[in-house]
Structure 1
C-alpha cells in the first residue's frame, strides 16, 4: 500500500445489510421486482430474468438499493458486485449485500478493489463454508480496503475506467474474430455437402456408413492404460485395451449431444456415444467432417434427457461425393481446419493477454503505481 494511504474495514466506512429472505408462506404486501445474485454481474446487472416477491411498504427502506449503492453476492459467486446506477430504487434478496458508503464516491474504487482481489485469488480467503462458500456480513464488515485521499482516488479510478473500456472493446473484437473464424470454417465445410458436383449422388446416410452404439464400462472396470475411452464429452479416461480399431469417428449420443471426435489410435467408444462401425469404403475423415457440420440435435429422440438414436440418422437423405474425390475434399477441409485453429490460437492468446493486462492494472492501482 502506498505511503499516506489508510486501510479501513468496510464496517468503518459504510453501512451494509442483507436483503429479504424469500418465504412465500410469510411474505406479505405487494409483488415487487427484486434482484438475486444471478442478476449481479461484475460492474453490471442482468435484468433479463427478474423475479417478484411480496414486500410491505414499511420494508422499502430496509430492502431497496438506491442509486450509488453497491450490491455484492453473498453466495453463488461470492464477492461479485456492481453499482446500482438507475434513478429508481430496486428491492434485493437475502443472497445480496447492500453496501452504502459514508462517502458515496468510494463505491467505484471499492468495486475495482473487490475485482482485483477476485482476480488474484485472495478474495476467497474471506469466505466461509467448506463446500458452498459465502461472503458473510461479518466477513464483509471486517474486509479492509486501502483508501487514498479522494482527489488521488478519482484520478486512479479515471485511469482504470478508460483502460477497462479499451480492454472491453478489444476483448469484444477478439471474441467476435474468434466467432467469425469458426463460422467461416463451418460455412465452407457445409458448402461442400450442400452442393452436388460431378459424380455426386443423392443417398441415405445409412447407405454410406453404419453407426453403432458404444460399450458401457465403469470407472471401476477400467484398468490404467493408454487406450482412450471416448464419452459424449470427449476423452475422459484411459483403459488398458481397445475395442475398436482406428481410424474412428465418434459422436456424442447422450448427455453432451452431437460432439464429434476423430480418433487416430485404437479406442473404446463409451455407451454415451455412437461410433462408425462400417465406413463402407468412404474416407473416415470425410465422414468426420460431415458429422461435424451436421446439426444432430434436431434428431434428438430423448424426452427429459437428450439422446441421439442412430435409426433417426441412417435415413437422412444427403448429397454424397464419390470415393475418388473424397481425399481431395478432406485435404481442402484439413487446410481450412488448420488455418481456423491458427486464428483461434491467436485470438485466444490475445484474450489471455487482455485478462493479464486487466490484472496488472489493478495491481498497480492498489499499490499506488498508477
Structure 2
C-alpha cells in the first residue's frame, strides 16, 4: 500500500492535531519517552588488538571503520556508538546479525515492541551529538556516560509510521551508498586511465598507428620505454613556471577575475595580472594542488603559474602536473616550499603531436566532468535526505500506511 503524506503548515501557534512537548511540537498521536525505557544498553568486552584481519564477524571499535574478528558476543538487531575517542557522538552503526564490539562501544538492543530498530537508529544518530554537546562547555566530548543515552528523550510515532519512515530513509541511504560506490569506481578508473594515457602505455586509437596501418612501437629513453613519437622533455622546456604576485590592498575588491592561491581559487577581484588560459600550482604552504584557469586571472604570490606553453597543450600540462604530484619538490624545514628549479629539471615523456596532447586532455576532461556530475548528484541526494529527516522525525510531514489526511 502506498504511503500517504500529510503536511503541517508553518504557523507560530500550535497547529490543529499537534501538541507542545519537552522535545518540541509533535503530532497528537505521537509519544515521547526516554531511550532507557525503550531498549537495553550495554558495552562490549573486547579491545582493538583483538581484531583479526581476515576474521569471520564484524568487529565494532571506536571508529567508523568496521574491523573483523573470529568471535561474536551478540546475535540480533542493534545500534552501536563510540563511547569515547575522536568520533564521540558522530559514529553510529546499525546491524542485524552476529558481531562483537569494543569495551568502549555502546550497544543498544532488545527494542520494545513499540520501537522500530532502524527508526531508532535514524533518530538517535540524527540527534545524539547535539544532546551531548549541550551537556559540555567544551568544543568536543571526551566520553559518553550510559545515562547520556538512557535519559535522552525521543519522539515515538505509531509503530507503523516508524516503519514507513525507516523504509523511506533506508531506501535513500541505499541510493547514497550506490552513488558513493559508483563515484569511487569512476575515480579509480579515471586514475588508472590518467596513468596509462600520460605515460603512453595506452595510446588513443587514432594516434597508435602509422599512415600505412602498422602499429607504432616504443623506444628506450632515460625514463624507460616511451612511444617512438613521444619526446623526453624537462618541465621548464615546455611549461616554465613563474612566481605569483602580491595582491595590493587597493585591488582587493570583488570582481570578474579569479585570484588563485596555493590552495585554490579563494575569491575574485576587478583586476587580473596574467591572461589565461593558465595552470597554477602552490609555491608555499599547500603543495600539490593544480588548477586550470580558462580566463584571465591573478596568481597570488603563494602560487606558481604558467601561461607560456611551448609546443604543449594547456589542459594536457594541467594533467601532467596533477600526475607528477608537485609536493615531491617540497623543500624547507618549516612551511613547505616548492623548489622551482627541481620542478623545471624534472623530465617527463609527452607526445610530440599537439593533437594527441589535446585528445588525451579531452578524454580526461570528459571523465572529470562525469565525476563532477556524480558528486553533485550525491550532494543533492544527501541534502534531500537531511531535509526529509528534519520533516519526518518531527512530524511536520506525516508518513503512514493508514493515516488519513
TM-score by length of 2: 0.60
Q: Tell me the SS of whatever aligns to 1:290.
A: helix
Aligned mates of 1:360, 1:296 — CA distance in 2: 41
Q: 2:35 — aligned with what?
A: 10
Aligned mates of 2:335, 2:250 — CA distance in 1: 25
Alpha-carbon distance, 1:351 to partner: 2.4
Aligned mates of 2:349, 2:111 — CA distance in 1: 69
- Of 302, 312, 326 in structure 2, the residue corresponding to residue 272 of structure 1 is 302
Select the structure that is richer in helix.
1
Q: 1:114 — aligned with what?
A: 124
Runs of 5+ unmatched residues, structure 2? 1-25, 50-59, 203-225, 401-405
Q: 1:171 — aligned with what?
A: 179
Aligned mates of 2:261, 2:198 — CA distance in 1: 25
Q: Tell me the SS of whatever aligns to 1:369.
A: strand
Alpha-carbon distance, 1:116 to partner: 4.7
- Of 363, 366, 371 in structure 2, the residue corresponding to residue 344 of structure 1 is 371
RMSD: 4.7
Any conservation in 2 of the 1:213–1:275 contact (CA below 8 Å)? Answer: yes
Deviations 1:195-220 (A, max 9, x none): 4343x4333222334223323448x5
Any conservation in 1 of the 2:48–2:61 contact (CA below 8 Å)? Answer: no
Alpha-carbon distance, 1:16 to partner: 7.3
Deviations 1:63-104 (A, max 9, x none): xx9885743568856454336987656322xxx8x4757846
Aligned mates of 2:282, 2:324 — CA distance in 1: 13
Deviations 1:118-143 (A, max 9, x none): 8xxxx748743788265987875664
Q: 1:82 — aligned with what?
A: 93
Alpha-carbon distance, 1:260 to partner: 1.6
| Within-5 A mapping of 1:58-77 | 68=78, 70-71=80-81
Any conservation in 1 of the 2:61–2:67 contact (CA below 8 Å)? Answer: no
Q: Tell me the SS of whatever aligns to 1:91.
A: coil
Alpha-carbon distance, 1:224 to partner: 0.7
Deviations 1:96-115 (A, max 9, x none): 8x475784675644222124
Q: How many residues align?
A: 325
Alpha-carbon distance, 1:245 to partner: 3.3
TM-score by length of 1: 0.65
Aligned mates of 1:17, 1:180 — CA distance in 2: 40
Aligned mates of 2:138, 2:268 — CA distance in 1: 29
Aligned mates of 2:394, 2:387 — CA distance in 1: 10
Any conservation in 1 of the 2:119–2:166 contact (CA below 8 Å)? Answer: no
Q: 1:224 — aligned with what?
A: 253
